Amino acid sequence: MHDFLLGLGEPSTENVPDSAYSQMTHFLCALFTKAQETISNLDGGYKAERIRRFRTFVSEGQSMHLAGGSRQAFYSEVVVQA
C-alpha cells in the first residue's frame, strides 16, 4: 500500500500533484467499495453489528509491530482494485 500511494516503481510523466491526487482518489474509492463489500458479507442482522465484526476482522492477529493477516489481505485487494 505504501508503494502504491507513493507511486514507487511506476515512472510517471504526469504532473506530480495531479498524479498523487489521482492515486489517492482511486485508493479511497477502492477502499470504501471493498469495505462496503466486506461489511455486507459479514454475518449479523444489524448494520452496527456488521461494523463491529468488520473491526474485529481487520484487527485479528495484529500486534504493535505487525498488521494482522486479514488487514494485510484487505488492503492488498484495495490496492489491486485501485
Structural domain containing residue 66: 2-81
> What total number of domains does the chain contain?
1
pLDDT at 67 over 80: yes
pLDDT for the residue 32: 93
List of residues 6+ apart from 14 with CB closer than 8 A: 22
% helix, strand, coil for the chain, step of 5: 70, 0, 30
pTM comes to 0.69
- What average pLDDT does the segment 74-80 reach? 92
